[in-house]
Amino acid sequence: MNEAVVGYIPILLFFGLAAALGVTMLVLGIIVRPSSPNPVKKIPYECGNVPTGDARGQVRSRYYLFAMLLVLFDVEVIFLFPWAVNLRSLGLFGFIEMAIFLGILLLGYVYLWRNGGLEWD
Amino acid sequence: MTPADLLFVLLKILVVLLLIPVTVGFCTLAERKILGRIQLRFGPNRAGPFGLLQWMADAVKLITKEYLIPGEADKALFVIAPLLTMVPAVTVFALIPFGKGMEITDVNVGILMLVAISSLGTYGIIFGGWASNSKYSLLGGLRSAAQMISYELSMGLALVGVVMMAGTMSLVEIVESQKGLWFIVAQPLGFIVFFISGVAETNRLPFDMPEAEGDLGAGYHTEYSAMGFGLFQLGEYSAILTMAALMTTLFCGGWGGPAAAALGGAVSLGYFVLKTSFFVFVFIWMRGTLPRVRYDQLMALGWKVLLPLSLLNILWVAGYVALRG
């Protein structure tokens, strides 16, 4: 088998066994735990008030905006990693080149800030 | 990989996997004890000597309680969500070097793998919040997801500093490259950014907006009872342990310490456990001491303070590495 793949097999095994452990913990209780649901118990908890309307209504669009921002900047982070590993051999040249790349992104960041894109309210 | 190797790996996985719930149990006990002392009371002291068996009592209770699914809930998603949080949070331990030669596996993109796996936990939280059909849960889930992705950014950028200095992404090699100088000394700014992001990532005080008790009940797990709640807690505390272990591994020399490399084995494991326990203690200490921040302050801190600071850290470390070699 390819040498590079071997290191990932234990991660996969661990993932599977962890899932098995979780399922076991959920299922284990079925034998001993009581189950007597009734309509009142099944009402969502709202500190004693009777809930009105459906919970899955509208939510702020800001959440969506911040998710978009993450996608933008996270791609930048991904570009940084291969450069970071090789920085020692790239030397000053690599440093200046990445400084230019970061500088351009920083411009976008400043624009975003100035336009209120980072405000929560 | 021969069958003998596979069996050995399987054995290591089982040992770690079965130790995690116990460690988490002791973590919750430590948290309640320390919080109790901070608030001038004893904390749990009835189950066993000094309350040392409290975690067992908690486990038995979680197993024997009724598993209630709310009427309007999305049933399949509601049951799966706790697993989606707990499984990735636990799987991360496959990559952490616990001592000299004591890691389950070592891959050459260790850090990326680690970030990739641990960020899967967000899905469990947002699915759990959505499936419950409760307003508290939905808001808690959304807040938590937005908070986690915001702080993941500055955390990723802080990690770049570590990778630059070590020249590798493998966690084992990162520990070894810190033999001369711990990275916390070389780049304190990076550590501060990583620490704050780590606390926010795990939804701990003072950044526990998703479940701020006075605000949203219990946030995304308001509707969860019994083992569903238990799995969410297990995931949350595993994430705390992971963060503490990462602070140790990436910034504080991992298992390194006086005579650790020569003696290896139990000594190096001892150093690792000691350092990790210290960071877990700091997590608990902060919960007992600091007031909660407001949500807009939280987002502003992540995007307007930590992000520029982490970029500054990269520039600093890059200049250092590029000029000094």
ipTM reported for the complex, 2 dp: 0.88
Helix (H, G, I), strand (E, B) or coil at B72: coil
| Alpha-carbon torsion angle B151, B153, B156, B161, nearest 10 | -100
* pLDDT in the model for residue A1: 58
pLDDT at A76: 84
pLDDT of residue B106: 85
Same domain, B118 and B221: yes
Average pLDDT, chain A: 85
What are the C-alpha distances in Å from B85 to residues A40, A74, B70, B123, B229? Answer: 29, 22, 20, 7, 11
How far apart CA B260 and CA B272 sit, in angstroms, is 10
What CA–CA distances, in Å, run from A48 to A40, B46, B218, B316? 11, 32, 15, 54
Dihedral of alpha carbons B39, B40, B46, B51, sign: positive
Report d(CA B128, CA B73) in Å as an integer: 10
Give the C-alpha separation, B322 to B314, whole Å: 12
Q: For residue A59, what are the contacts with CB-CB under 8 A and spacing of at least 6? A: B138, B139, B142
- B251 & B220 share domain: yes
Residues of B in contact with A8 (CB under 8 A): 105, 107
A2 pLDDT exceeds 80?
A: no
Do both B83 and B48 map to the same domain?
no
Q: What is the pLDDT of residue B214?
A: 67
Q: Which residues in chain A have Cβ-Cβ distances shorter than 8 Å to B163?
A: 81, 84-85
Both structure tokens of B15: 């040992």
pLDDT higher at B148 or A1 = B148
Q: Which of B18, B48, B64 is the last residue of a domain?
A: B64
Same domain, B152 and B281: yes
Last residue of a domain, one of B64, B91, B110: B64
Helix (H) or strand (E) holding B173: helix B171-177
Structure tokens at B159: 């990690």
Question: What pLDDT score was predicted for residue A18?
Answer: 92
Whether A48 shows a pLDDT value over 80: the answer reads: no
Portion 125-154 of B in contact with A at CB < 8 A = 130, 132-139, 142, 145-146, 149-150, 152-153
B165 and B258 belong to one structural domain: yes
**B148 and B60, same domain (yes or no):** no
Q: Are B138 and A59 an interchain contact pair (Cβ–Cβ within 8 Å)?
A: yes
* Dist CA A112 CA A108 (whole Å): 6
* B70 and B60 share one domain: no
Residue B197 to residue B310: CA distance in whole angstroms = 11
In this predicted structure, what is the pLDDT of residue B213? 66
What pLDDT does B247 receive?
A: 92
B32 vs A21: CA distance, rounded Å: 26
Give the closest-approach CA distance of A23 to chain B in angstroms.
8
Question: CA-to-CA distance for B220 and B236, rounded, in angstroms?
Answer: 12
Residue of A nearest to B319 (CA): A95
Angle between helices B226-246 and B265-289 (to 10 degrees): 110
- Residue of A8, A14, A63, A110 to mutate, testing the B interface (most B Cβ within 10 Å of its Cβ): A14
Location of structure tokens 């661990």:
A14
- Within 8 A by CB and 6+ apart from B311, the residues are A102, A106, B157
Q: Are residues B224 and B287 in the same domain?
A: yes
Q: What is the pTM of this model?
A: 0.91
Per-residue pLDDT tens digits for B173-227: 888 888 888 888 888 999 999 999 999 988 887 888 777 666 777 778 888 888 8
Closest among B44, B307, B9 to A17, alpha carbons compared:
B9
| Residue span of the structural domain in which B24 resides | 1-64
CA dist., res. B237 & res. B235, Å (int):
6
pLDDT at B212: 67
Cβ contacts from A onto B, under 8 A: 216
User: Rounded to a whole number, what is the distance in Å from the CA of B42 to chain A's nearest CA?
Assistant: 29
B83–A19 CB contact, under 8 Å: yes
Q: What is the pLDDT of residue B283?
A: 92
- Tell me if A117 sits within 8 A of A108, measured CB to CB: no
Spatial CA neighbour of B240 closest among B272, B291, B279: B279
Cβ neighbourhood burial of B264 (10 Å; 0-12, 13-18, 19+): middle
Q: Residues near A79 by Cβ (< 8 Å), separated by ≥ 6?
A: A101
| pLDDT at position A56 over 90 | no
Answer yes or no: do B58 and B74 share one domain: no
Are B147 and B264 in the same domain?
yes
Angle between helical axes of B135-166 and B121-131 (0-180°, round to 10) = 170
What CA–CA distance (Å, rounded) separates A120 from B200?
17
Mean pLDDT, 10 residues at a time, chain B of 325 residues? 84 90 92 92 86 88 87 86 91 89 85 89 87 84 86 90 89 87 88 93 81 72 85 90 92 82 82 93 91 86 91 89 75
CB B129 within 8 A of CB B141: yes
Shared domain for B51 and B194, answered yes or no, is no
- C-beta of residue B136 within 8 angstroms of C-beta of residue B218: yes
Which of B45, B64, B83 delimits the end of a domain? B64
The number of folded domains in chain B is 2
> What does the pLDDT average to over A85-114?
88
**Residue among B67, B135, B157 minimizing CB distance to A55:** B135
pLDDT exceeds cutoff 90 at A95? no
- Tokens read off for B156: 């990723």
- In a 3-state reduction of DSSP, which class is residue B50? helix
For residue B230, give both structure tokens. 């238990």
Both tokens of B322, joined, read 């590029």
| B120 part of contact set with chain A, CB < 8 Å | no
Are B43 and B104 contained in the same domain?
Answer: no
Cβ contacts of B25 on chain A, cutoff 8 Å: none
At residue B50, the pLDDT reads: 85
